Structure 1
Amino acid sequence: MLLCLSFDHRGCSFPLLERLTGRTREITDALTAAPDLEGVVVLSTCNRFEVYAQAAHDTSNAVVEQISETAGVPVSSLSMAADVELDHRAAEHLFAVASGLKSAVVGEEEIAGQVRRAHVEARERGTMTNHLERLFQTATRTSRTVKHRTEIHSQGRSLVRLALRLAESRVPVWEEARVLLIGTGAYAGATIAALRSRGAERISVHSPSGRAADYAARHELTAVDPADLRSALDDADIIIACSRTEEPLLTEADFTEADFTEADFTEADFTDADSAPRASRLLIDLGMPRNIDPAVTRIDGIELLDLETVAKHAPITELSTEHEALEIVHDAAVEFGASQAERDTLPVLLALRGHVNAILEEELCRARRSGDEDDEATSADVEAALRRLTGRLLHAPTTRIRSLGREGRASEASDALSALFGLESADRA
């Protein structure tokens, strides 16, 4: 059985979602060790936390309890916020997610890459089953089909672009804005592209993990050394944080003035006629969990735009385009379910072919023992003819058994095998 447990921006509060994403590693380890799950994939993004698992039966309650224990969240809160989908509906949900149809900004392009990364990470951990492998491969193909056959991505929809669109009223001239980017992960590349499409040129980058120099060289940015971060924060007009972290990277202390004494100033500091109050700064937090502590808004001149605010301003999609994309997703889910059901008939097919081929080999051995050893050419022709006959006789029942499987009637094929030949398929033996 395929199970999907989903927490997203629509039915889950941001504090709860932040709690789950902040414990992604611990939750993944706990579910990997769960004895009732044959395989598991965890998808954790800025506006969703999802578990895809394969199990012998519906273990959704046990999964919720395990997440509750690991994340320190009441079971009742998780149960109310979770959407549970099984089998066909779980597959259709993942295909829609990978295609950007379940995102806060419908049609966002980053989610497809995030689904692929979750797939790769599960494969590296060794928690993928054959069924889950096919599921995620199909999700990637479906997202590409949606992208190429519809216009759902044509407007460059993404949380990054929407955040910058909301920021436009605060940025008089993008070419002159001093932008500081915190983070060098997946969202950083999309952020740089979105900034440059608006004309931003003065972009610097800081990496909490120490990768700023290499990243800056590859993207033609200015790297900010950790020792110079405070100065860069003071100089920036716009600060965009998009790093993976469990605790906020920027707090109120990073923006408050230090305690100075009169000895720290020169006479010029008190007489400079050109001095002016610090211009307002816009902070954009694209992290989940948060990269920026909301307490920074208590400081005069600082405005914070976070994911919760961005999600509330997500635009309404064109119904025709979204409808076309949803049809593609639905058809892909139907085909995936039918293909999986067809695979369920494999034990029946193996039993039938094994039975018929065993009879064939017995007859060939008998013919070889009683035949003329000097007429090898004739014996070879007879054997070839019998093998062709066997193949043709098996073709029609093989095709019919597969068809029954796609219709969800694999058990009927197994019953027929038992009634006609007195055989039990491998899954019933």
Structure 2
Amino acid sequence: MLLCVTASHKTAPFDVLEQLSAPGADTITPLIAPSVDGVVVLSTCNRVEAYVDTDSDDSAELVADALRAASGLTAEEFAGAYSIKTDAKAAEHLFAVAAGLESVVIGEGEIGGQVRRALTEARHHGTTTSDLERMFQRATETQKAIKNATALGRAGRSLVRLALELTDSRLADWTTQRVLLVGTGMYAAATIAALRDRGVTDITVFSPSGRGAKFGAKYGIAHVTRAELVETATASDIVITCTNADEPVVTPETIEGLAKPLFVVDLGMPRNVDPAIADVWGVTLLDLETIRLHAPLEELQATDAARAMVKDAAARFADVRRSRSAQPAIVALRRHVFELLEAEIARRPESEAALRHMVGALLHTPTVRASDYAMQGRADEVFAAIETLFGVDARPAAEQEAEEPAEEVLAYAPVTAGHSASCPFDAAV
């Protein structure tokens, strides 16, 4: 079973999302193993989601509790702040997220890269499974297809651009603005591109992690050290923060002695800017919570087309996944038949070509029928048929052990549906 535990700007208040933003797959996995086979954690500025491959019906609440525990939230604070989606609905949700349909700014461009990085991070920690890999890969393919086929995302929508649009009415001329960019993370490059589109040429970067010089050289902008931060911040017209630092980087002390108006745009999650800075004379603070309140309405036509593509992609993913559920039975059947074939060929080598042709023809219909039954959610009947007709029990280990007394059950053995006596191949073989 695939499931998603999601907390986003649609289900949780900003302060809860801020606390949830820190945990990653390496933090969550020890809290839920061995109840799950794999987990991919997607953490962005407006959502934290755990995608899990599991055989346990209790995993959803276990994962939710792990997210809560890793963030330090109480049960009361986390109650009602998340939702749970399973199997096809989990895939549909991920595909919609990757396409930007669940973002604050519908169709935002950054989210596709964040989905890909979440999978890469899970691979690094060894927490993916084949089903999670396929689901995230299909999500990326769907996102690219929607971008190419609809108007969604073609305008370069992003939180960065929306934040800059919200400052337009306060600025007479972008070309005269001095901008301090704090951070070299996922939004930094997008911020530079958006600023340059508006004619900004005076951009300086500060990196709390010390990567400012390398980043500045790459994008042709100046960089400053921590010792120069206060002087640079107070001389700037706009400060934009987009770093993944755990603690606020910009505080009232950072702009001590400010003598002119200053726009501060905080794109960080957790917050990069101490909220107390809004009380400093001359400061206008624009944070994610404010940006969310001013997000534009989605373009209905483009969004409807994109959601239709998401639903279609999710349905195809579910069909393929169901068809794979009978694969062990098909493999066992072919192995059994070909073992008999090789034995017969050894006895009558002169008949090899005819025997191979006959076996291929005989296997075709059962193989197709098995896939059809699996796509209908009837894989258990396929396993039963193979066992009844050929005496080959190809059911996954956990199901077999459930019918036989055993001292222990394998922790990660997949669970399949119940055994059925009906035979899908009775008209085919």
- Shorter-chain TM-score above 0.5: yes
Structure 1 residue 256, shift from structure 2 partner: 2.6
* Larger radius of gyration between Structure 1 and Structure 2: 1
Q: Which residue of 1 aligns with 2:412?
A: none
SS at the partner of 2:180? strand
CA distance in 1, matches of 2:121, 2:22: 17
Name the aligned partner's letter for residue 201 of structure 2. Answer: E
Structure 1 residue 19, shift from structure 2 partner: 0.4
Return the match for 2:283 from 302, 312, 322. Answer: 302
Alignment of 1:14-413 (within 5 A): 14-24=14-24, 27-28=27-28, 30-31=30-31, 34-58=33-57, 59-257=59-257, 278-367=259-348, 379=350, 382-413=351-382
SS at the partner of 2:91? helix
SS at the partner of 2:79? helix
Ranges in structure 2 where 5+ consecutive residues have no aligned partner? 401-429
Structure 1 residue 255, shift from structure 2 partner: 1.8
1:23–1:71: 8 Å Cα contact kept in structure 2? yes
1:338–1:408: 8 Å Cα contact kept in structure 2? no
Write out per-residue CA displacement over residues 167-221 of structure 1, whole angstroms, 9 at most, x where no aligned residue: 1112210000011100111100000111111111111111111111111111111
CA distance in 2, matches of 1:57, 1:112: 30
Name the aligned partner's letter for residue 409 of structure 1. Answer: R
1:3–1:86: 8 Å Cα contact kept in structure 2? yes
2:25–2:127: 8 Å Cα contact kept in structure 1? no
Structure 1 segments, 4+ long, off by >6 Å, are none
Q: Which residue of 1 aligns with 2:416?
A: none
Name the aligned partner's letter for residue 387 of structure 2. Answer: S
Structure 1 residue 346, shift from structure 2 partner: 0.7
Write out per-residue CA displacement over residues 346-369 of structure 1, whole angstroms, 9 at most, x where no aligned residue: 11102211221122122222335x
Structure 1 residue 26, shift from structure 2 partner: 6.9
CA distance in 2, matches of 1:156, 1:357: 56
2:150–2:305: 8 Å Cα contact kept in structure 1? yes
CA distance in 1, matches of 2:325, 2:25: 34
Structure 1 residue 384, shift from structure 2 partner: 2.0
Write out per-residue CA displacement over residues 311-346 of structure 1, whole angstroms, 9 at most, x where no aligned residue: 111111111110100011101100111111111111
CA distance in 2, matches of 1:30, 1:50: 16
Structure 1 residue 94, shift from structure 2 partner: 0.4
SS at the partner of 2:260? coil
Change (3 A) 1:426 1:409: closer
2:108–2:159: 8 Å Cα contact kept in structure 1? yes
Write out per-residue CA displacement over residues 26-49 of structure 1, whole angstroms, 9 at most, x where no aligned residue: 743544x62101101111101000
Structure 1 residue 69, shift from structure 2 partner: 2.4
1:175–1:200: 8 Å Cα contact kept in structure 2? yes
Name the aligned partner's letter for residue 288 of structure 1. Answer: M
CA distance in 2, matches of 1:290, 1:22: 11
SS at the partner of 1:80? coil
Name the aligned partner's letter for residue 401 of structure 1. Answer: A
CA distance in 2, matches of 1:320, 1:226: 48
SS at the partner of 2:187? helix
Change (3 A) 1:337 1:25: closer
Structure 1 residue 25, shift from structure 2 partner: 6.9
Structure 1 residue 79, shift from structure 2 partner: 3.3
CA distance in 2, matches of 1:358, 1:26: 45
Name the aligned partner's letter for residue 361 of structure 1. Answer: E
Change (3 A) 1:336 1:119: same
Name the aligned partner's letter for residue 323 of structure 2. Answer: E
Aligned length: 397
Scaled by the length of structure 2, the TM-score of the pair is 0.89
